[in-house]
Amino acid sequence: MKNCPPSQLVADHLEDLILSGQLLPRERLGETDMADRFSVKRHVIRDAFKVLESKGLIETKRYKGARVVSLSMKEISDVFDIRINLERFAYSLALNNMREEDFSELEAIAAKFLDSVDTANVEELSRLNTEFHNIIYKRADNAALVEIINDLHVKLYITRYAAWDKREYILQSGEEHLEFIEAMRKKDIDVLNDLSRRHIYNSKTAYEKRISKITPLALCEKEVGLK
């Protein structure tokens, strides 16, 4: 990227590490460590932290420094409740606007997703999942709705990567995509609503389980390179 300031480059890199699960929720981000890691001055790291904090990816506290955000159980429930209702609304709007070429695209993506369960990395699976749902959002033809959904994507991506380290969850998500297509073809809003709730609830449960396993000892061991 031309003329991109070093702080933005560092922020982009750290964002990728957070969203890919390589930096764990509640993991501490030391200015000195990060400056050494990226071979930049500490003021560059501080500016990068400001960018990440504005996106809700990290939090900084005086005398305690910065750390990756971790959603509380209440925040998790709030985010997923909003997501369920937004997606149900999107499906209801898209239902009568879907075209045959849309279904063909959805089927191709769903097939590729399932074929990639054992070979693709989390980033690729996430990209396919996003492509799948974006086709439906596009047919909802509601820019305000899509904007709200996109505003939630940072937190949703954090939970998604936390969930997608289990093969059974990935496989289940892929199979649910096929069920979504069938229900959309039949214009069965009741089935779509149930699928949406189940699809998102499984992600929520997986995230809660992973977060419960991230203990202070696990974070300490990760920082000193024992894991």
- Domain CATH for 32: 1.10.10.10
pLDDT digits 0-9 by tens, 57-71: 899 988 889 999 877
Does residue 222 sit within a domain?
A: no
Q: What single letter denotes the amino acid at residue 66?
A: A
Which residue is associated with the tokens 């229900």?
A: 183
Residue where a domain terminates, one of 20, 40, 70? 70
- Regarding whether 125 and 14 lie in a shared domain, the answer is no
Instruction: State the pLDDT at residue 219.
Output: 44
Instruction: State the pLDDT at residue 224.
Output: 43
Q: Is 45 strand, coil or helix?
A: helix
Does residue 226 sit within a domain?
A: no
- Regarding whether 93 and 200 lie in a shared domain, the answer is yes
Instruction: State the pLDDT at residue 211.
Output: 65
- Regarding whether 204 and 105 lie in a shared domain, the answer is yes
What is the C-alpha to C-alpha distance for residues 27 and 144, in angstroms, rounded to an integer?
34
- Region of 65 on the Ramachandran plot (φ > 0 left; ψ -120 to 50 alpha; else beta): left
Instruction: State the pLDDT at residue 225.
Output: 45
- The residues facing 58 across adjacent strands are 68
Does residue 162 sit within a domain?
A: yes
Does residue 220 sit within a domain?
A: no
Instruction: State the pLDDT at residue 26.
Output: 84
Q: How many domains does the chain have?
A: 2
- Regarding whether 78 and 64 lie in a shared domain, the answer is no
Q: Which pTM does this prediction carry?
A: 0.73
Does residue 119 sit within a domain?
A: yes
Does residue 218 sit within a domain?
A: no
- Regarding whether 133 and 28 lie in a shared domain, the answer is no
User: Which phi and psi (to 5°) does residue 75 adopt?
Assistant: -65, -40
- Regarding whether 27 and 78 lie in a shared domain, the answer is no
- Regarding whether 86 and 44 lie in a shared domain, the answer is no
- Regarding whether 62 and 81 lie in a shared domain, the answer is no
Give pLDDT < 50 ranges for the chain.
1, 217-227
- Regarding whether 64 and 84 lie in a shared domain, the answer is no
Does residue 217 sit within a domain?
A: no
What is the C-alpha to C-alpha distance for residues 96 and 224, in angstroms, rounded to an integer?
55
Query: 28 lies in which domain range?
Result: 6-70
